[in-house]
A and B are shown apart, each in its own frame.
Chain A
Amino acid sequence: MNYKNLADKLVTRSLRKGAESAEVYIQTGRNLSVRVRNSDIETIQEAASSGVGFRVLVNGSMGFSHCNDFSDKALDETLEKAIAFAKLTTPEDHNTLPQAKDHKEVEGLYDPEIAKVPMEKKIDMALELESLAMKDERISNSSGASFGERETEIFIANSHGLNKSLKSGICSMGVGVVAQKGEERNTGWESCVRRYFSDLESLEKIAGTAAQKAWELLDPKMVSTQRAAVIFDPVVASSLIGGIIAAINGERVLQGASFLRDAMDEQFASELLSIIDDGTRPKGPGSKPFDGEGVPTQKRILVEAGVLRSFIYNTIAANRAGVESTGNASRGGFSGMPSIGTHNLFVAPGESTPEEIIASTQRGLLLKGVTGYGINPVNGNFSGGASGFWIENGKIVHPVKGLTIAGSADTILKGIDMVADDVDMNRSFTAPTIRIAEMQIGGA
């Protein structure tokens, strides 16, 4: 099927049926997932699927519908539902679709080799990954290893003449293992996600990391409730920056539901904190040349040396704020309405090494695992469960589990006093090791 033409045809049909402007978003895709456990296949899942989402405006009101049936009858029925639903919603001047604007292609988003690798090889890689992770004698069980791949093609067209398409793919490997000592169990997992098959990390490295995460926290000791430094390892960075990103979502800012709503151009965090969102990085796992409604993506500085520089917007939120879209419309597939999100978000690396940060910490927690919701974007509070290592006099002394950590965004973000250089740019939401001078730690 020629989806590019179909998208245009459906835009025309929307206008004929009464929409004053219309957008058609078609997505087709294929995915494969192989899971192995105990040296045998556990599940193989494979599917191809596709669907279409309609967004229409009728007298300034917006309606949305989707279906995964491309028969004419189903498409007509779905489109009519979008128009009917538009009549239910409140008209707004800022409800518009984006103009067609040229974008620059982003290299390295599709690797045709992934699909050509035979199924047997993918199964063998997962089996090999599992057996490597089980090699360490401290590991008692496997919870399985996997290989996954996904290939997606999207087509966006709207009544302002926009018609864009993008083919992309991604592959991943992962493994989870259990380390056991007496009644005590600990799990460890590691995954690797890449745009290109040949860029996947060595199985030894992925396996080794998973195994280490499982055994390194065995034999934890409790510490007392106290205030001390907390060092966020890169694996828990998202708990720190997730709340900031939710708080600079332009729509939440407009609604007042953000602790950063009045912080533009203010020093709300330590000078050591800079945050950048980049949709244009070649091979980036979150890269795309244009966002979920066809607006070109950018490399954009959100926080510069602790000063808030930008909120993030899609077209409608930007109209309402009286600014330009930042190309941050995100879309969870054809069935989702465009919301606001980041592409490849990273905290800029600092000058220290993680080892230097540990060595310069008199007493504190090296945080390896955190549970909970991170920083609350509405009021800035943070509270979570914590595990990792206890540090005394610049040295790791023992693992810790079952602790809590808490603080306010203000004390946490202004309290950042060291940032390391170890940011993993192969992840789409990533940060280096970061130290907070002091947080409340709950223990015995």
Chain B
Amino acid sequence: MSNNNSSQGISRRKFLELGVKGGLILAATPPLLTHMVSCSPAMGHTPGLDMDKGTLNKVIARALRNGGDFADVYLESRNSRQITMEESKFKSGLYGISQGAGVRVIAGDKTGYAYTDQITEENLMRAAEVASYVARNGQSIRPVDIAPAKRQSFVSVKHPLEEIADTRRTEIMQRADQAALDYDPRIKMAIIDYNDQVRARVIANSEGLYLRDELPLLFFIVQTMSEEGNNRHMARERISYHSGFEMFDEHTPESVAQSAAREAIAMLDAEDAPAGIMDVVMENGFGGVLIHEAVGHPLEADNIAKGIGAFTGKVGQKVASDVFTMVDDGTIPNYRGTINFDDEGTQARRNMLIEKGVLKGYMTDILSANQLDMARTGNGRRESFRHIPIPRMTNTFIEAGKDSPEDILSSTPKGIYVQSLSGGSVNPVTGMFNFTCREAYLIENGRKTRPIKGATLIGSCMEVISNIDAVANDLDFGSGICGKGGQSAEVTAGQPTVRIRGINVGGSRA
């Protein structure tokens, strides 16, 4: 649809269509790591990134000539594949080669940014000049000459994507299609999207940092459509890791397809959902989008630095119930939200956001960390060289609790059991959020009973985290695409099974 009206105004965050369960269960969160240091080998297919350090120093110096506190250069090269299968046919195959570079200047609260598609010294110097416009007549710092730095890596690859024949990709898709159609004759169609990419990046800044690495990303989506009489349901399952092709050994295309098919069949009999305020039990994994939206976005430091975020000035205060602990962790091995270091070069880490109900901190990028006089948390991310870094989540989750999921359900006499969500959004200033259920059931007498049609859940972030009164021991994750300020980022959201008291449910019957 051509809609030009969406680019302006308050940056509204939308967690676009967060996917279904990641399928991997983490017993303990600080991962046991085989240490990998990310000094990547020379990457032959990304020559544009070989810009020599002397030139990068010159560009940084030019960026700061008019003044400014900080400048950086970001070079990026991305090769991507996207293959689509619909109605058991390979409908399209797309191969993309993209490269470019951006130069940024920060002067006080101001940011100047310019980018170019052609990574040449001339274009970078011109970008530096444009970006320096904001720093006119300001004070200037002296940039430090860049030198390579080391960062720990949390991404390991067994079978690099570049070495995989395209026919192996289509074979994976065919297997998924077959498994979906074999699941039940009422599955009429599957839509299978295979996406992979390798993103190489170079970051150099006026603090003397120079980093280079390469991140592979696989994203596999199966949608299935069921039909019986006049009822239809489109279900979805998504798997995504920063990984080589070995991802499909653990998450077979059949298992992904069967999961999507199961939902499509289960929801064929769905009846109208009730409307009004009721208790909600949210199954582990995928429902993590709830805290991603309701709490995660409001804890990104940009709106806090502006003094308008819902959690402004609340560090150290009790904001949630005692059973609620929430973490953002960019270091979980190979997870979709894992980043090694963020797009400003800050080492990824595990950040405690809310511990036993008490607000511990925000997620920052360089600009908001400076503005708030807080530490850099490794959350400065960007969609591509065409965008400036902003505070973003990585892998965000509610820590496992002590309850068993069965006990939580059986102690809830009446309500809604939410098994998966299509996605949701939040207004980070007011804290009002909404989610759309894709697979949900009535709870009657402590048991999951009849399926109900896609209902909306709404509420305020402050209320929802105070109203979580039970957290189970079954933490699991789901993969998603998070949209904010016109930029998308790959993330995961995780949670154990939880119960939320009193959410407003939008059904079509009283």
Question: What residues of chain A have their CB less than 8 Å away from a CB belonging to chain B?
Answer: 37, 40-51, 61-69, 74, 77-78, 81-82, 84-86, 88-90, 92, 119, 141, 143-144, 146, 148, 170, 172-176, 178, 185-187, 189-191, 193, 210, 225-227, 238, 242, 245, 255-257, 259, 285-286, 330, 335, 337, 341-345, 371-373, 376, 378-379, 381-386, 401-408, 427-429, 439-444
Contacts and interface: CB of A to CB of B under 8 A. Distances in A.
Contacts of B41: none
Interface string B477-510: 0000000000000000000000000001111111
Given A49-B115, A227-B510, A443-B276, A193 B5 contact: yes
Nearest to A173: B8
Given A88-B166, A407-B508, A46 B455 contact: no
Nearest to A261: B232
Contacts of B10: 143-144, 176, 187, 189
A371 B434 contact: yes
Nearest to A226: B510
B231 A379 contact: yes
Contacts of B425: 371
B232 A335 contact: no
Contacts of A407: 508
A442 B90 contact: no
Interface in B11-43: 11
Given A225-B276, A383-B507, A42 B110 contact: yes
B53 interface: no
Contact of B8 (A86, A189, A242, A345): A189
B458 interface: yes
B455 A379 contact: no
B117 A49 contact: yes
28 contacts: A40-B109, A41-B110, A44-B131, A51-B117, A64-B95, A65-B95, A65-B97, A68-B117, A89-B83, A90-B90, A141-B307, A170-B4, A173-B8, A174-B7, A178-B308, A185-B429, A185-B430, A187-B427, A189-B10, A371-B434, A383-B436, A383-B455, A383-B508, A385-B458, A401-B432, A404-B504, A406-B506, A444-B277
Contacts of B170: 88
B508 A342 contact: no
A81 B130 contact: no
B430 A404 contact: no
B87 A193 contact: no
Given A44-B113, A187-B430, A286-B4, A385 B93 contact: no
Contact of B134 (A41, A90, A190): A41
A442 B2 contact: no
Contacts of B1: 242, 245, 330, 341-342, 345, 429
Contact of B456 (A51, A74, A404, A427): A404
A85 B117 contact: no
Contact of B114 (A47, A85, A256, A379): A47
Given A85-B166, A335-B98, A441-B275, A428 B432 contact: no
Interface in B103-162: 109-118, 127, 130-131, 133-134
Contacts of B227: 256
Contacts of A172: 4, 7-8
B456 A89 contact: no
B458 A81 contact: no
Contact of B434 (A141, A187, A343, A384): A384
Nearest to B460: A402
State the 3 A-B residue pairs at the shortest beta-carbon distance, nearest first: A404-B506, A174-B8, A189-B9
Nearest to B106: A43
A429 B3 contact: yes
Given A88-B83, A255-B189, A381-B453, A405 B97 contact: no
Contact of B506 (A227, A344, A405): A405
Contacts of B446: none
B233 A428 contact: no
A428 B234 CA distance: 28
Given A172-B8, A187-B430, 12 more contacts: A43-B388, A44-B133, A47-B127, A65-B97, A81-B95, A89-B89, A141-B306, A256-B227, A341-B2, A404-B506, A406-B507, A441-B275
Given A63-B93, A174-B9, A225-B275, A440 B188 contact: no
Question: Taking each of B92, B225, B427, B436, which has the highest tally of chain A beta carbons within 10 Å of its own beta carbon?
Answer: B92
Contacts of A77: 97
A442 to B, nearest CB: 3
B459 interface: yes
Interface in B315-351: none
B506 A442 contact: yes
B100 interface: yes
Given A44-B112, A44-B133, A143-B306, A383 B456 contact: yes
Nearest to A190: B9
A206 to B, nearest CB: 10
Contacts of B4: 170, 172, 193, 285-286, 428
Nearest to A331: B2
A172 B7 CA distance: 9
A89 B306 contact: no
Interface residues of B, number: 86
B386 interface: yes
Nearest to B89: A90
A442 B504 contact: yes
A382 B454 CA distance: 8
Main secondary structure of the interface of A (DSSP, over half): strand
Given A67-B97, A402-B458, A379 B232 contact: yes
A295 to B, nearest CB: 15
Given A146-B8, A185-B310, A257 B225 contact: yes
B368 interface: no
A89 B92 contact: yes
A406 B456 contact: yes
Contact of B507 (A48, A174, A191, A440): A440
Contacts of B508: 381-383, 406-408, 439-440
B314 to A, nearest CB: 12
B458 A404 contact: yes
Contact of B422 (A66, A193, A373): A373
Question: Among B4, B11, B113, which residue has the most Cβ atoms of chain A within 10 A?
Answer: B4
Nearest to B227: A256
Interface in B161-194: 166-167, 170, 188-189
Given A141-B308, A256-B189, A49 B506 contact: no
Given A44-B134, A47-B116, A191 B8 contact: yes
Contacts of A90: 89-91
Contacts of A50: 117
A255 B386 contact: no
B9 A69 contact: no
A134 to B, nearest CB: 13
A92 B432 CA distance: 48
Contacts of B131: 44
Nearest to B3: A429
Given A381-B454, A440-B509, A335 B310 contact: no
B273 interface: yes
A442 B111 contact: no
A372 B456 contact: yes
A257 B509 contact: no
A440 B189 contact: no
A242 B310 CA distance: 31
Contacts of B95: 63-66, 78, 81-82, 84-85
Given A49-B100, A69-B97, A255-B87, A406 B460 contact: no
Contacts of A238: 3
A64 B92 contact: yes
Contacts of B455: 383, 404, 406
B96 A66 contact: yes
B164 to A, nearest CB: 13
B403 interface: no
A67 B434 contact: no
Contact of B166 (A84, A170, A174, A408): A84
